[in-house]
Amino acid sequence: MARGINKVILVGNLGNDPDTKYTQGGMAITRISLATTSVRKDKDGNQQERTEWHRVVFFGKLGEIAGEYLRKGSSVYVEGSLRYDKYTGQDGVEKYSTDIIADEMQMLGGKGEGGGGGGGGDRPQRSAPAQRQGSGSGPSRPQPATQQAPMDDFADDDIPF
């Protein structure tokens, strides 16, 4: 049984096109970088902005939809949970990453929306991924994420807890 609640709700814009990969078992894993901006007045009365860049991960069916319909600039609602990971970088140094594992998504329009797009968290008929990419195959765009974490070879087991 679960103990506790771990819930994240985001509405923001993508800083880049989604990055979709597939596990050896064929499960889609799509990553996006999502901006939310807040404002406060500092003590001098000036407007101060601060943008957080959230690393959001979509698995499976949701990963396919996200990869197909979201684009740089898209506005999206995401619901999910926080996952903290620890890994050893190529430089041998321990690093930490924070991801939001999405379990619900809804497109909200906004600039960057692809051509025929539409989509949503519950889309009934959607096309299959255009093609399977083996891990490591294809040009892997640089990740703009705040916290870099490697994500190259997936087991099918690499799913959100």
Partner DNA sequence: TTTT
- Would you tell me which residues interact with a second copy (CB under 8 A)? 1-13, 35-43, 47-48, 50, 52-54, 75, 77, 79, 81-84, 86, 93, 95-98, 106, 108-110, 118-124, 146-147, 157, 161
| Tokens representing residue 89 in the block | 């970088």
C-beta separation of 35 from 12 below 8 A: yes
User: Which of residues 13, 20, 23, 30 is near DNA by CB under 7 A?
Assistant: 13
Of residues 42 through 61, those in contact with DNA by CB under 7 A are 51, 53
Question: Strand 75-88 and strand 47-59: pairing?
Answer: unpaired
Which residue number, 153 or 156, has a Cβ lying nearer to a second copy?
156
Which positions ≥6 away from 119 have C-beta within 8 Å?
Answer: 65, 68, 69, 107, 126
Indicate whether 73 belongs to the interface with DNA (CB under 7 A).
Answer: yes
Residue 135 binds which entry of DNA, a second copy, none, CB below 5-8 Å type-dependent: none
Q: Residue 66, class by beta-carbon neighbours within 10 Å (0-12 exposed, 13-18 middle, 19+ buried)?
A: buried
Amino acid at position 103, single letter: D
Distance CA 128, CA 112 (A): 22
Q: Which two tokens stand for residue 21?
A: 């990969």
**Nearer to DNA among residue 87 and residue 155 (C-beta):** 87
Q: Which is nearer to a second copy, 50 or 152 (CB)?
A: 50
The residues binding DNA (CB under 7 A) are 1, 3, 12-16, 33, 35, 37, 51, 53, 72-73, 75, 109-112, 118, 120, 144-146
